[in-house]
Structure 1
Amino acid sequence: MIAHARSYKRNQVSRAEVLTAIGRFHDEYKIKRVTASLDEIENYTSDIWLVDDDLHIPGDLELAHECAYLLVVLGDLVVDGVYGDSDDPESFLLVTGNMRARDVVTAGWLEVHGDLSTDRLIGDYNDCGAYIGGDVHAQLFYGEHHHFTIGGALSANAVIGRPSLEIATPPAVIDIDDLRMLEHFDRDLLRVFDDHDDDGNAITYVDGFRDFREPKRRVYAGLPFRAAETRDN
């Protein structure tokens, strides 16, 4: 159970409160989707949770593990560990303030009205999307095929791939077949080929990730993408 959160299924949150809260969503689709679910939520294994102020999670926050179909935080959200959501089952997060987490892996509907600050920001699949109204600060951003809308600026040491990104000023990117990938990821995470050119000189090719599940596993485990690095957990 999420500390200080009120439950819809336990009658701690009224339907009117839920409707008022989701009226803050940026996208009409999400408002309609959650509204329609209110008549079916009793059949769900998940619940709707409402936090009336700031929320601090001392460890990880995985919406599926918390049985959260929707989590609304009317304030700032701080997650000391990794934040994760999913598209199957579908989940929603709405934060009206700022959000900070050690790492973020988002496959579901993530919406933050303020700034988002994290070490690694990872998108996962393309069924849902993320909306950040303010700035995004990250050490590494890999959007995969997930759609991100950022109202402010994106400040990242490395933007990997060509993310599905709606932003005023698109960032410079490192393509997944760029040799600079080896500066950010261990070779065993990547498809790397060593060869020789026509003059016999050694050359190396990179062709993206071997299996995207392994970088995600490292994020959830708090492990670096490069073994030479250390991380403060």
Structure 2
Amino acid sequence: MIDHALSYRRGQLSPAELLAAIGRFRSAYQTRRLTAALDEIEDSTGDMRLVEGDLHVPGDLDLTRERIHLLVVLGDLLVDGAYGDGDDPESFLLVTGDMRARDVVTAGWLEVHGDLSTDRLIGDYNDCDAHIGGDVRTRLFYGEEHHFTIGGTLHADAVLGRPRLEIATPPTAIALDDPRLLEHVDRDLLRVFEDHDGDGAPITFLDGFRDFRELKRRVRAGLPLRTPPTPATTD
């Protein structure tokens, strides 16, 4: 998908050029990790890539599937499909401009200096984190255990769970035991329990997601998390 990006493994980037790109990370931790990885890349299956300017990916961009340890985009990143990364092995994405993708599922290190726009933003596990310098615009945000830092404003139609979120104005979120979750997610993805109150009226209890892997699969495939009800038919 991004074969035109300059490759460190193929000798298209000098160590000095790659170190300069790595130095654009705002976190010293990422810089240290990636600098140390330069000595190990010959023994790994991953590559480090640099795009000097904007990058448009017509389909999906999955750093793990592309075997990319590091991708630096010195400009804007547009992904027509889903963006994904991993934490085992770890992958790193740095975008110095804005990023836009149909959907985002991030388990690795994600840093965007500008704004991030996506239909659904999903975090995955807690080993790595995401840092967005500008605003985030999304229809649905579920951070799971992933840590997010947002320098601007979060514009989201729905925030699910209790995100590990560092932001000036925390959003109002729908707890994972709140029946309103069913307005955004199909029942088969959730732990749902039915009971009755003292007057015999039905009560629905929720206890979070039953199948988080299926949730991620649907998002990566561009499928809805809540299937619209089938209209009633009349004879």
SS across alignment from 2:18: helix
State percent identity of aligned pairs.
72
SS across alignment from 1:168: coil
Aligned residues between the structures = 229
The one-letter amino acid paired with 1:189 is L
SS across alignment from 2:78: strand
The 1-side partners of 2:198 and 2:78 are apart by 54
SS across alignment from 1:216: helix
SS across alignment from 2:193: strand
Output aligned runs, 1:21-60, within 5 Å.
21-60=21-60
The 2-side partners of 1:84 and 1:78 are apart by 13
1:206 CA drift (Å): 1.1
1:145-185 deviation digits (Å, cap 9, x = unpaired): 00000000000000000100000000000001101100000
The 2-side partners of 1:221 and 1:20 are apart by 35
Output aligned runs, 1:11-160, within 5 Å.
11-160=11-160
The 2-side partners of 1:153 and 1:14 are apart by 37
The 1-side partners of 2:72 and 2:84 are apart by 15
The one-letter amino acid paired with 2:172 is A
The 2-side partners of 1:211 and 1:188 are apart by 8
The 2-side partners of 1:45 and 1:192 are apart by 42
Where in structure 1 do 4 or more consecutive aligned residues deviate above 6 Å? Answer: none
SS across alignment from 2:110: strand
Q: Which runs of 5+ in 2 are unaligned?
A: 230-235
The one-letter amino acid paired with 2:161 is G
1:197 equivalent in alignment to 2:197: yes
1:113-164 deviation digits (Å, cap 9, x = unpaired): 0000000000000000000000000000000000000000000000000100
The 2-side partners of 1:188 and 1:9 are apart by 44
1:210-232 deviation digits (Å, cap 9, x = unpaired): 12111001011110001118xxx
The TM-score with structure 1 as length reference comes to: 0.97
SS across alignment from 1:48: strand
Q: After the TM superposition, which of the residue ranges 191-200 and 130-139 deviates more from structure 2?
A: 191-200
The 2-side partners of 1:116 and 1:202 are apart by 41
Q: CA RMSD in A?
A: 0.9
Q: Which residue of 2 aligns with 1:223?
A: 223
The 1-side partners of 2:155 and 2:167 are apart by 12
1:30-87 deviation digits (Å, cap 9, x = unpaired): 0000000001101110100000010000000000111100000000000000000000
SS across alignment from 2:17: helix
1:4 CA drift (Å): 2.3
